[in-house]
Amino acid sequence: MTEYKISLIPGDGIGPELSDATKIVLEAIKKKFDIKLKIIEAEAGDCALASRGVALPEDTVEIIKNSHACMKGPVGESAADVIVKLRVMFDLYANLRPLRAYPAVPVARPDIDMLFVRENTEDVYKGIECKIDDGTALCLRIITRKNSERIAKKAFEMARLRNGKKKVTAIHKANVMRVTDGLFASVCREVAKQYPDIAFNELYVDAASMRLIKEPQVFDVLCTCNMFGDILSDEAAQLIGGLGMAPGANIGDNFALFEPIHGSAPNRAGKHTANPISMILSAKMMLDWLGEKYNDGKCLQAGAAIEKGVIYALENKQTVPDCGGNTTTLGMAEAIATALTVKTG
């Protein structure tokens, strides 16, 4: 039996609380499904910057390199020096952000079920900026055929796997950014021809932001470049109960990192009321990925069980105030862990 080494960066702000909550659920998973998970904590973020002078220490990178997968809590102002660097370092080119309406949560519509497939390694998030003079700043936007093609293929492959509408929507602004977004859009069209079983359409990013509010139920898989996907997925998360309901995965060909899509919320740290679902569902995505990569049916079963446990806690109001309950972050995690043994067996 494989022992999976999972590197864990607790993060800043509410990050350690969410990480502790997720560990409670993973401990229950280990016992119920007899899965060997060894969690190895590593430091990164504002806390590491303050104590060690660097946001992403070399020993943390080594721990991640020697793990099967990584989980990360949200980090603070040093996020660009942590997650953006890790995405490039491990070539985690696909950022997957599933957003669906869960029961007993205030949502815009109960039939929302979409997946953002966001290019994760280029665009303006390359961070290539400079000042020309005191009154002028410059940012370089990089869009390549290679990265546009592989993210488009990932979007179509995910559309095939989902029990949804079998539809990919490419989002861009090629009518204004004719060269960069023009390249992205043209590659998406080329890739679409390779998947005749999947419907394909395009939207300008401003129209997409409007339609996400007006008719979110029409979307299935949304394929975007880096910055647009970051912004639109945060917007769409508000339709399903907020960022606390939104997990995320950073996927490469050989490695993956899983994290909630929100920030560290330092104003809520220590109050123990942060919604842990975003990180617990990120752990579910990690188990799904491990199960697929290593052909491990127990991991796939465990991932499905976590989602059932989340639904059980929501329906029974064993939740934090954000979800209508009155328990704590850890209390909600314990309810989900208990549900794994009594509800999903």
Do residue 247 and residue 180 come from a single domain?
no
Count the alpha carbons within 13 Å of 160 in the hemisphere toward its beta carbon.
11
Other beta carbons within 10 Å of 58? 8
Asked whether residue 28 falls in the same domain as residue 118, the answer is no
Residue 256 covered by a domain: yes
pLDDT digits (tens, 9 = 90+) for 22-54: 999 999 999 999 999 999 999 999 999 999 999
Mean pLDDT by 10 residues, the chain (345 residues): 93 96 97 96 96 96 98 95 95 98 95 98 94 97 98 98 93 97 98 98 98 98 98 97 97 97 92 96 98 96 97 94 92 95 58
Helices (H), strands (E): how many in the chain?
Answer: 11, 12
Same domain as 129, residue 231: yes
Based on the fold, state whether residues 127 and 202 are members of the same structural domain. yes
* Listed residues 195, 211, 240: the one ending a domain: 240
What's the pTM value of the predicted model, to 2 decimals?
0.95
Residues 125 and 215 in one domain: yes
Are 44 and 134 in a shared domain?
no
Q: What is the span of the domain harbouring residue 206?
A: 107-240
Q: Has 234 been annotated as catalytic? A: yes
Catalytic position from the list 30, 126, 234, 308: 234
Partner residues linked to 291 by β-bridges: none
Within this chain, do residues 114 and 81 fall inside the same structural domain, yes or no? no
CB 315 within 8 A of CB 103: yes
Q: With the C-alpha atoms ordered 105, 111, 113, 114, is the resulting torsion angle positive or negative?
A: negative
125 is catalytic: yes
Residues 73 and 119 in one domain: no
Is residue 138 domain-shared with residue 120, that is, in the same domain?
A: yes
Asked if the structure places residue 187 within a domain, the reply is yes
The rounded distance, in Å, linking the Cα atoms of 320 and 226 is 32
Same-domain pairing of 89 and 125: no
Residue finishing a domain among 183, 212, 240: 240
Tell whether 102 is covered by a domain. no
Any alpha helices (H) in the chain, and if so which ranges? 15-33, 46-52, 58-65, 83-89, 145-161, 180-192, 205-214, 226-237, 277-293, 297-315, 329-342
Please indicate, yes or no, if residue 125 is contained in any of the structural domains.
yes
Residue type, 266: P
Report yes or no: 252 and 90 within 8 Å, Cβ to Cβ: yes
| pLDDT for res 345 | 45
Q: Which residue has the tokens 């976590």?
A: 306
Catalytic residue among 72, 173, 284, 298: 173
Q: Are residues 275 and 164 in the same domain?
A: no
Which domain CATH number covers 127?
A: 3.40.718.10
Residue 117 forms part of a structural domain: yes
**Is 133 part of the annotated catalytic residue set?**
no
Q: Which residues of 245-266 are buried (b: 16+ CB within 10 A; e: fewer)?
A: bbbbbbbbeebbbbbbbbbbbe
Catalytic residue among 34, 206, 294, 317: 206
Q: Which two tokens stand for residue 272?
A: 């123990």
Q: Is residue 173 part of a domain?
A: yes
> Do residues 119 and 131 both lie within one domain?
yes
Point out the catalytic residue in the list 4, 102, 125, 195. Answer: 125
- 55 in Cβ contact with 49 (< 8 Å): yes
Q: Whole-angstrom Cα distance, residue 37 to residue 31?
A: 10
Q: Which of 12, 123, 230, 322 is catalytic?
A: 230
Question: What domain count does the chain have?
Answer: 2
The per-residue pLDDT for 35 is 96
Q: Answer whether residue 85 is part of any domain.
A: yes
Contacts of 304 (CB under 8 A, 6+ apart): 344
Last residue within a domain, chosen from 214, 240, 266: 240
